[in-house]
Amino acid sequence: MVAAPLPASSFIGLAAHPIRWGLLTELAQSDRHVSELTHLLGQPQALVSYHLGRLRDGGLVDSRRSAHDGRASYYRLDLQRCGDALSATGSSLHPGLTLRLEPPAAPQRGRVHRTRVLFACTGNGARSQMAEALLQHRAGDRVDVVSGGSHPKPIHPNAVRALAERGIDIGDRQSKPLTRFDGQHFDHIVTLCDRVREACPEFSGRPQAIHWSIADPSRAAGGNRATYPIFRDLASELDTRISFLTALIDHPPQEATRHVRPRHAHH
C-alpha cells in the first residue's frame, strides 16, 4: 500500500526542528540504531527516541529489528518520500515557485579515479549479488564494484529471476568470500546484513561505511514460488537505494563523511 503524500507544511514542520534535521541528515547516509544516533547528535536517548517517533509518524522514517541482535532496531530514512515532499514544497507556497529536485549534471567522463564499492552480506547469494549487479547496471564503468559474503552460499535462483525481469543476467556469477578482498582499497563499503556489519573486516584508506539493514530473503518461509515476491520487492528497494548511492558517488558532499563503527546497544 502506497502512503499518502506528505503535505508540504507537515514536512517543513518535521524537518525544521534541529534534532529532527540532524536525524534526517545522519539517516540519509546510513541505516543506524539509536545508540549511534545519540552518539552522533550528542543528545539523550529519550530525546532522540521521541523525535524518531515524530519522524516515524510522518512516514519519513521506519525501523526493523536487527537480525544480529533482536533487542536492537535499525532506523532507515525514506529518501524518495523526502524528495517528493521537497519537490512539492515550492509549488504549495506559490505556483511561480518551481522547487524541483532536478537530476544533477552528468559526471565528467574520463575521470582518472574509478570509485570502488564493496557490497557485503552473509551468504553473497542474494542481497549483495543483486546490489553489485544493479550498481554496475546504473553506473557502468564509473565504478569498480564487487560483492562478498562472510559465509558464501550458492546464488539463489529467485535473485537471478528478479534481476532477469530487469534485463540483468547474473545466472553465471559465483559467490565469493569477503576474505578475497583483504588488503584492497575501497571508497565505499555497504553492508546489507546486520550480522556482517558487526563483524565486517577493516579495510585500508578509511572507506565510507554505509549500512542498509535488509532481511535475508532466502530465509523467508515457503518455497521458491512463495518467496519470489520478496525477491522482487528486494530488487525494487535495492534499485531505489542504489539510485541515491550513485548520486553520492558522482557528486560527493563537500564535507567528509564520518566513519562510524557499530556500537552495541539494545533499543
Question: Which CATH number do you get for residue 159?
Answer: 3.40.50.2300
Both 84 and 119 in one domain: the answer is no
pLDDT grade for 226, boundaries at 50, 70 and 90:
low
Task: Give catalytic status of residue 200 as yes or no.
Answer: yes
pLDDT at 131 exceeding the cut of 50? yes
Q: Is 107 part of a structural domain of the chain?
A: no
**pTM for this structure?**
0.84
Does position 218 have pLDDT exceeding 90, yes or no? no
Answer yes or no: do 30 and 133 share one domain: no
One of 23, 61, 139, 193 is an active-site residue; which one?
193
pLDDT of residue 2: 52
Q: Per the structure, how many domains does the chain have?
A: 2
CA distances from 58 to 18, 37, 84, 112 (A): 16, 19, 13, 43
User: 122 and 203: one domain?
Assistant: yes
Can you tell me the distance from the alpha carbon of 63 to that of 52, in angstroms, rounded to the nearest whole number?
A: 10
Confidence of residue 222 (pLDDT cuts 50, 70, 90): low
- Do residues 135 and 83 share a domain? no
Q: Are residues 238 and 136 in the same domain?
A: yes
Together in a domain, 157 and 246 = yes
Residues 165, 46, single domain; the answer is no
Better pLDDT: 82 or 76: 76
Place of cell 544533477: 104
Backbone angles phi, psi at 205, to 5 degrees: 85, 5
Do residues 121 and 195 share a domain? yes
Cell of 146: 564487487
Q: Which three cell numbers stand for residue 261?
A: 563503527
User: Choosing from 23, 121, 131, 242, which is the catalytic residue?
Assistant: 121
Confidence check: pLDDT of 201 > 80: no
pLDDT exceeds cutoff 90 at 175: yes
* Selected catalytic residue, list 126, 200, 238, 249: 200
- Please report, for the domain that includes residue 73, its CATH number: 1.10.10.10
Contact 126, 155 (CB under 8 A): yes
- Select the more confidently predicted residue: 260 or 237: 237
pLDDT(44) > 80: yes
- For residue 77, CA distances in Å to 94, 157, 162, 201, 221 come to 28, 30, 24, 26, 27
Q: Which of 41-50, 118-127, 216-225, 231-240 is predicted with the least confidence, judged by mean pLDDT?
A: 216-225
Same domain, 19 and 64: yes
Do 119 and 242 fall into the same domain? yes
Q: Is residue 98 part of a domain?
A: no
pLDDT at 89: 75
Same domain, 89 and 133: no
Q: Is the pLDDT of residue 40 over 90?
A: yes
Is 54 inside a domain boundary? yes
Whether pLDDT at 87 is above 80: no
121 catalytically annotated: yes
Domain that residue 168 falls in = 115-250
Cβ within 8 Å of residue 145, ≥6 positions away: 116, 117, 118, 119, 132, 135, 136, 139
On whether both 172 and 68 belong to a single domain, the answer is no
State the cell numbers at 194: 546486520
